[in-house]
Amino acid sequence: MESQTVIVTRKIQLLIDSEDKAFVKATKDKLYHWQRICFRAANMIMSHHFIQQQVRDFFYFTENVKLKIADHKKEENGMLQSSRQNTTYRLLSNHFKGQIPTNILNYLNNNLLATFNKEKEDYWNGVKSLRNYKQNIPMPFGAEVLFSLGHTPDGRNFSFKLFQIPFRTYLGKDKSDKKNILERIRNGSLKLRASQLQLENGKVFLLAAIAIDKEEHVLEPAVIAEASLSIEHPVVVKIGNQECVIGTKEEFLHRRLAIKSAIHRVKQSVDFNSGGHGKKKKQKSMEDYQLMEKRYVDYKLHVYSRMLINFCIKHQAATLLLVNQQEKEEIAKADPFLLQNWSYYNLKEKISYKAIKAGIQVIVE
């Protein structure tokens, strides 16, 4: 039976809830230490599972050797002392026990094994290479270790404890639904699922995963929408004799190129900017423009994907077909201009997310 809920993620900035600067610094140092451990652990997990799958090939010069990657207690020719999932957990426990909460290691191990099992056929066929994780990897944890969620004294934010560390949210002017979601988690009408902590440029973020009910729409299984993503028009969608063109090249690409030109001009003048605080102050204007580009692209892709899904809902299309999309992505990979300036993958992800939430099936052709 198809699930009636969908998992959504909200990125929420966190502050360490303490006025003691020494405590705040020590806590951030600890979080960064945990992140470095997750970085090492993630690559170890993927490497060991890959080797476990390939170990048979290490014996191709021998005869009459039968090896099987399985628990020797459950399989006759098994060569492992425990399940595959437990092998890497024991590996992490031996290396990092006492240095990081075991809850993080457990969820990291489970998540990466699920990812490996999902992609292993592509590894064998040479379609994908083994994943390599970077030092800014998010740290997963179970919802059971987050407790005491409540309002801050000013009523504008929320406070809670995670691994005995006091946090409070920083929602700012929050024009999204983050505050409403946190309030519903607090009163029990929404359930927090396994989530993640992420560290970026000295800031702490909660990547909160929440299960919400799918939207209810009247959709006809026989109605199929065909959408084409292109550089001339971000989205062109057809349903029968109905056609809708969403966005233009001038609206999206030219504006983005204008911002890139500004970034290039600012970058050339960085050496002539006044110092005072060294490199950080000199490059601030360039980083502001880069953030402007990121926000502009993200906003536009959200608008385009929302307009597409609304058009499908209006015409009761239960299936959305992205026409010739795989071919276009291969062409974009070979064209440096398209690869740098046209966000095929990002737009496709936003379309898929909104479609699942609306109960629309997406097929990539």
With 80 as the cut, is the pLDDT of residue 190 above it? yes
CATH number for the segment(s) 5-30+138-213: 2.40.280
CA dist 12 and 169 (Å) reads 7
pLDDT band at 199 (very low <50, low <70, confident <90, very high): very high
CATH number for the segment(s) 220-364: 3.30.420
Mean pLDDT of the chain: 81
Portion of the chain with pLDDT greater than 70, in percent: 82
With 90 as the cut, is the pLDDT of residue 207 above it? yes
The predicted-structure confidence for 231-279, as pLDDT tens digits, reads as follows: 777 888 999 888 888 887 777 777 777 888 887 787 777 666 665 556 6
CA dist 271 and 290 (Å) reads 18
The predicted-structure confidence for 126-158, as pLDDT tens digits, reads as follows: 888 888 888 889 999 999 999 889 999 888 899
CA dist 317 and 335 (Å) reads 33
The DSSP secondary structure of 37-88, one letter per residue, reads HHHHHHHHHHHHHHHHHHGGGGGTTSSS---EEEETTTSTTEEESS-HHHHH
Domain ranges of the chain: 5-30+138-213, 32-122, 220-364
Which residues neighbour 157 within 8 Å (Cβ) at sequence distance 6 or greater?
Answer: 151, 168, 169, 170, 171
The predicted-structure confidence for 273-321, as pLDDT tens digits, reads as follows: 665 556 666 677 777 878 888 888 888 888 889 999 999 999 999 999 8
CB 152 within 8 A of CB 168: yes
CA dist 152 and 49 (Å) reads 44
The predicted-structure confidence for 23-61, as pLDDT tens digits, reads as follows: 999 999 999 999 999 999 999 888 888 887 776 665 554
With 70 as the cut, is the pLDDT of residue 171 above it? yes
